[in-house]
Every structure is written in C-alpha cells, then in structure tokens.
Structure 1
Amino acid sequence: MKKEKFPARLHVLIASNSDQAIVIRRGPSKYTCVLSWDRKKNSFEVSQWLKGRIYERRADISPSGKYWIYFAMNGKWDSETKGSWTAIAKAPWLKAIALFAKGDCWHGGGLFLDDQTYWLNDGYGHEPLFTSSKVTRNKSYQPQNYYGGECLHIYYNRLQREGWMLKHSSKKGKWNSETIFEKKLSHNWLLRKICHDQLGSPKGKGCYWDEHQLLNEHGDIFVKSSWEWAEGFDKSIIFAEGGILYQIFLQSSDKLSEPKLLHDFNEYKFEFRQAPY
C-alpha cells in the first residue's frame, strides 16, 4: 500500500524589530528544514536541514532577528547531545553558539527577553556543552503564565507577548483541550487562533495543532480550518495552508483580497549544508 503523503507543515517565527523571519518546514516527518524569510523583499533561502525534529512551539527569535533558540531531537541517545538538545544559533542557521544537551523530550527550548538575553526552559535540567559571550542566560526569569513544561508553556507565552489575547480554554474530552486566542486587526477585523492539545489528532497533524477563524465587525465568521499558522500585520494576514505561505489584504471592514501566493515549500528535498560560521 502506498504511504499517504501530506503537505509540508509550516511554522513561522517573526522578529519584532526587523523584517527578518524564520520558516520551520517539517516533512517528511523525520526531516526538518529551516529557511530565512526577508519579509521586505519576500525572499526565502534554505539555511540547513536536520534529520530529526525541531519542536517549533518551543522556539523563539530575538527581536532583531539576529539569533534564535530551538529545541531539537534526533534520537541519537548515545551522542554528546544525548539525542535531544536546546541550542542558541545565529538565525536562520542550526549551528549552535550555545548548546545544552537534554537527553529526553521534557521541557527544552526557551524565549528571548531581548536581543542578547534568553530564558532556557530548563525543567528537569540540561547539561551545558558550551556557551557564548554573545548571548546571556537569565536564570531568574520565569514566564508570566504557566502552561506545563513543554510546547504550550513557551508557545502560549510567546503568543501573548506578540499581542494575542487569551480568551478561553476548555476541555473537550480526555487528552483533548482547546485554547482560543484573538488579535484585533485593521478595519475592525478579528483573527481567532484555536489551539488544540489533542491525542488522536486528525491525520497529518501533531498532538498540538492550530486552526483559525476570521470575524468582521458585522459578526460574520469565516472558518479557516486549514490555516495551520497565521499572523496579522501591515493591514494583511499571512497564513500557511497546504505547505504554502499566502497573504491576504484587509481592504475594508467587509472585503478581503484574493490570496496572494508568497512561497510554496512542498517540493524541497534534503540537502547537506554547512553554516557560514
């Protein structure tokens, strides 16, 4: 039987004080590609591939877009990094300038507090392999809100830092919960992000997955279940659907432009690339 093929999964980290962003592309499931995105030029460039998993909801990018922090797992449990690790790297590369071995998939990752300072989601502990004078770990900081030790703890705090308002959280059943965030956009549009924490999720999705809705000032709701990532800025919405990044413009309080294709990430193939440092 032929194995079912799914579109590339996409997640985007956008620097708050520059036009730089990182696209984390997963697919096939055991391969991850990281790309730079210059939003001003709308240009994309592959940095490096990982034969393993990057936990995109535990990642963050510094305000200037110069550095990023990520948690990854390749399952090589006898290696120096113990099969999983947290790294701080020059964006958008994977090569670490500070590296912490983990050895399991509890906790890991972190958040940037400013361009040179980060918080490590330490949990049960990391083993520092090397650090850098270019970035400093803040050991006393704790995120304002607590959402467990793994993906949601970093992701939900990052969303709120980026202007999303947490509106509601509810249990839908055993191992199935839903948390709703909203962000106000221009022309009185509202972007709603529905975050699922679910075992037995739909095919092609992980245990953490998002869908979206658009609401206008008249109360009309436009369901966007296939938008796996979305963010609003510059009187537009950028969203990921089917392994492709699109942009729609908010033209008035009840009118949207047709989607503009920004980039199709589906046909990328693994290649070995070295960081330039």
Structure 2
Amino acid sequence: MPFPARLHVLLARDAPSGVILRRGPAQFVCAIGWNRANDSFQVGQWLRGRIYEQRCDLSPDGRHLIYFALNGRWSSETKGSYTAISRAPFLKAISLYPQGDTWGGGGVFLDNTTFTVYGASNALREDPELARVPTQRWIGGPHAARLERDGWRSVSGETAVYELPAPCGWSLRLTLCSGFPSTPGRGFLWEEYVLVHAATGRIHPLPNCEWAGLDGARLVWTCAGTLNAARLTRRGLGSTTLLADFNTLQFERRQAPY
C-alpha cells in the first residue's frame, strides 16, 4: 500500500489564505492554494524534488511564498538546491538564490515586501518589488523565527517545544522531533501536536497529526493526506469537518500565470 500524502500548511497572518505543501511520492511536491474564507482550493504547481517545509514562509498578505528546494542538479545554475520566492500558490521563481547544499537555505518574511534569506548570498534574479535584508541570527533558523513571529512561545526554555494560545483555555503544543522514527513514511524531522488545557492540565491528543494551526476559533490540522477542522470548546474539540482529501492528486505539468 502506498503511503498517504504528507501535508504541511503555511497560513497567511493578515489574509484568509494559505498554502498547502503536499509531498508524495517522495520525489514530488505540489503547492496548493487555500481560500480559508470558503475552504476552496487551487492546485498551483508541482516540483520534482524536495521542498523543506520548515524553511518556508508565506507573506502576511498571502501573495508570496518563500521556499527552499532540493533537486540534486548540482551542475545547474541553482547548484542543486536553492531558495526561491514565488507568487502563491505557484512555484515559478521571481527571486532565486542558489544554495548548493542543505546546511543553509530558506527564509522568512518580515512584512509583505521585506524578507530575509538564510545561507545564500548571490542572487540569480530578484523581484524589484521585494526587498531582502540581512539575516537575523535566530536560533533554530527560519522555522523557529516563523514560529516565534506567529505567536508560538518556547516552553520552559526548550527550543524543541512550543505552545500557541488557543480559544477556551487551551494551548496547542508543538514538539519538534528528529531521529529515525518507527512510523513508516516519516522523515528524519517531524512534528507532534497535542492540545493542553492551562487550568486543568488536561491533554487532548491529536493522533497521527502531521501539522496543526489555528484559523480563528477553529483548529485546523493535517492527517494522512487530509485537511481537517473543528471548533474548540471547553471540553475539547467539537465535531470534525473534513475540508479536503489530497491523496488522489497526481503529478502534472502546470504553467504559472506570470
């Protein structure tokens, strides 16, 4: 049996939009636009290679995506790995920074038009409407910077455990894990989530959850190639709504409209 698609989501901070990065099979990634106002979806583009989800970001207005990709074409102008900025939910680069390894790469948006890139110094091309600024030295790289910017706080000084305040007295707890997991289909780095009630200490597990976040008053999360949502109540999660199942998507060549 094939493994389900793996999903990671980037939510725009100031707009009802998001981008879903769908991985599967292992050598293919698809970027999908999410209109959170009506829970509709738009397939953007596919990439043959690997996108490192934890090194990606979405601009506050949801218009631009920054991502770090590996395609292994080491003799090409992108040196086999690169950081790119595109117009979400597409992947065609409007700014492009060759990296050449996986030690660095990726970036974060500081506002709608200002961003920072980790590692790469020289650009193959840059969009004149976007401004790059020097990298700030966040411990944990782009992922930690994005979490802290979006309201997550480290727990007891642990850089691998974060909590995000949620409605009805709950917090969403994220644990960053690494190693060789026992779960088939999981990579060296993965995330685990639970809900924690501040007053009672009660823990509400989110089994098999790959990514979770808050969209207003509802919790949204991915599991086995599906995107789900539920309202938070004092007792925990309300009824779960399946927003989309992306398992049936298959690679296709698509042109960006720019």
- TM range, smaller chain: over 0.9
Mean alpha-carbon deviation: is it higher for 125-134 or for 237-246?
125-134
CA distance, structure 2, for counterparts of residue 235 and residue 27 of structure 1: 30
Find the counterpart in structure 2 of residue 237 from structure 1: 219
How many percent of aligned residue pairs carry the same amino acid? 40
Q: Give the partner amino acid of 1:88.
A: I
How much does 1:221 deviate?
Answer: 1.2
Find the counterpart in structure 1 of residue 148 from structure 2: 160
Instruction: Say if 2:95 is the partner of 1:86.
Output: no
Structure 1 residues 207-265: Cα deviation after superposition (integer angstroms, max 9, x where no partner): 110111112343321222311100123221001011100001113x1142121000101
Q: Give the partner amino acid of 2:29.
A: T
- TM-score normalised by structure 1 residue count: 0.88
Find the counterpart in structure 2 of residue 41 from structure 1: 38
Find the counterpart in structure 2 of residue 108 from structure 1: 105
CA distance, structure 1, for counterparts of residue 236 and residue 66 of structure 2: 38
Tell whether the 8 Å contact from 1:168 to 1:181 is kept in structure 2 after alignment: no
CA distance, structure 2, for counterparts of residue 6 and residue 68 of structure 1: 27
CA distance, structure 2, for counterparts of residue 7 and residue 169 of structure 1: 34
CA distance, structure 1, for counterparts of residue 242 and residue 196 of structure 2: 22
Find the counterpart in structure 2 of residue 175 from structure 1: none
Tell whether the 8 Å contact from 1:185 to 1:233 is kept in structure 2 after alignment: no
Find the counterpart in structure 2 of residue 150 from structure 1: none
- TM-score normalised by structure 2 residue count: 0.94
Q: Secondary structure at the match of 1:127?
A: coil
Find the counterpart in structure 2 of residue 196 from structure 1: 177
Structure 1 residues 88-139: Cα deviation after superposition (integer angstroms, max 9, x where no partner): 11111111111111222220110001111110102xx443111121111102
Q: Give the partner amino acid of 2:221.
A: F
Q: Secondary structure at the match of 1:41?
A: coil
CA distance, structure 2, for counterparts of residue 155 and residue 225 of structure 1: 23
Find the counterpart in structure 1 of residue 193 from structure 2: 212
Distance 1:134 1:161, change over 3 A: same
Q: Give the partner amino acid of 1:133.
A: P
CA distance, structure 1, for counterparts of residue 112 and residue 93 of structure 2: 16
How much does 1:201 deviate?
Answer: 5.7
Q: How many residues align?
A: 257
Find the counterpart in structure 2 of residue 259 from structure 1: 240
Aligned-CA RMSD value:
1.6
CA distance, structure 2, for counterparts of residue 136 and residue 22 of structure 1: 22
Find the counterpart in structure 2 of residue 146 from structure 1: 139
Q: Give the partner amino acid of 1:198.
A: G
Q: Secondary structure at the match of 1:40?
A: coil
CA distance, structure 2, for counterparts of residue 233 and residue 246 of structure 1: 11
2:25 to 14, 25, 28: 28
Tell whether the 8 Å contact from 2:204 to 2:236 is kept in structure 1 after alignment: no
CA distance, structure 1, for counterparts of residue 51 and residue 152 of structure 2: 23
Q: Secondary structure at the match of 2:69?
A: strand
Q: Secondary structure at the match of 1:128?
A: coil
Q: Secondary structure at the match of 1:118?
A: strand
Unaligned runs of 5+ in 1: 148-152, 171-177
1:72 to 69, 73, 76: 69
Q: Secondary structure at the match of 2:124?
A: strand
Find the counterpart in structure 2 of residue 133 from structure 1: 128
CA distance, structure 1, for counterparts of residue 49 and residue 215 of structure 2: 32
CA distance, structure 2, for counterparts of residue 31 and residue 268 of structure 1: 11
Find the counterpart in structure 2 of residue 95 from structure 1: 92
